Amino acid sequence: MKDILTAKFIKEMCDTTANMYRLGWDERNGGNISLLLDEKDVAEYLDLNKVIREIPIGFEAKPLAGKIFLVTGTGKYFKNVAGDPENNLGVVRIKADGETAELLWGYADGGRFTSEFPAHMMSHMARLAVDPNNRVVMHCHPTNLLAMNFVHELDDRAFTRSLWQMCTECIVVFPDGVGVLPWMLCGTNEIGEATAKKMNDYRVVVWGLHGVYGAGKDMDETFGLIETVEKAAEIYMKTAHLPRLNTITDEDLVTIANHFKVNYRKDFID
Ligand code: 2HA
Ligand code: ZN
């Protein structure tokens, strides 16, 4: 059996959390990530018959039964993941009953997965139904995007349009736009269900006055998605209080989308 600390999925999780911390998106214990693993991959590092302990998950995730995830731990700081993966991360498998997670590795100090596990697992279910290659759900608190929440209408269409107008490539990176939820209590099944509902249509879901969820096929792509949204929000915040002399028009947006052959949300164009 190979040493799991040398696994690509652990290294990627360490690199990504460190990167996000340094960008200021994950203060203290802010943010959480779940990565759907390939069973064959995991079997190179762990005995899949050896369950360390069982953790109740508090909702029903039967469509994910048998699936294995690498998940950041509750109360853990992104800043510390790379230095101590075994305490800050866990590898869990959803049991056949859909209501229990089997810990295969990690959470070594007795911990458990993120308090946002419902939003993660429900989002995986929603995205896997749309795209079987979806493997990552990522949550964080990007500074400019959060600031924008305080000065911009929290509406899918209006919010998406403002972001699309800030960087030429936005409509290419998130042609399906962004879904926006009002402020809700985090860490609950309710916000998980609301997030997953938006995830049927969007790969980016803004949690009003809190942060953002992104979903994608791998860590790089999902990180890049949030990075692009955050860059657009930064331009928005740097210009929102100034007279706007120039803008990317709806006609320009359609030209870009057609050139890059992306299937954008037509109802978000005037
Ligand atoms: O896990 O970001 O939304 C800390 C959070 C909760
Ligand atoms: Zn959060």
Q: Supply the residue whose CA is at minimum distance from atom 3 of ligand 1.
A: 186
Nearest ligand to the CA atom of 186: 1
Q: Is the CB of 118 under 6 A from ligand 1?
A: no
Longest dimension (CA), the chain: 63
For 141-151, how does the pLDDT look when each residue is reduced to its tens digit (9 = 90+)?
Answer: 999 999 999 99
Other CB atoms within a 10 A radius of the CB of residue 2 amount to: 9
pLDDT tens digit sequence for 9-60: 999 999 999 999 999 999 999 999 999 999 999 999 999 999 999 999 999 9
Q: Which CATH architecture has domain 1-114?
A: 3-Layer(aba) Sandwich (3.40)
Taking a C-beta distance cutoff of 8 angstroms, is the pair 37, 9 a contact?
Answer: yes
Kindly report the backbone phi and psi dihedral angles of residue 18, in degrees, each rounded to the nearest multiple of 5, phi listed first: -65, -40
pLDDT band at 192 (very low <50, low <70, confident <90, very high): very high
- One fold for both 1-114 and 116-270? yes
Q: Is this structure's pTM higher than 0.85?
A: yes
pLDDT tens digits, one per residue of 99-124: 999 999 999 999 999 999 999 999 99
Question: Does the Cβ of 34 fall within 6 Å of ligand 1?
Answer: no
DSSP 81: H
Fold category of 116-270 in CATH? L-fuculose-1-phosphate Aldolase (3.40.225)
Nearest CA to ligand 1 atom 4: 30
Each residue of 89-99: pLDDT tens digit?
999 999 999 99
The candidate with the shortest Cα–Cα distance to 209, out of 178, 183, 179, is: 183
Average pLDDT of the segment spanning 143-164: 98
Residue 131 CA, chain-centre distance (Å), reads 15
Boundaries of every domain in the chain = 1-114, 116-270
CA distance 123 to 261: 26
Q: Indicate whether residue 77 lines ligand 1 (CB < 6 A).
A: no
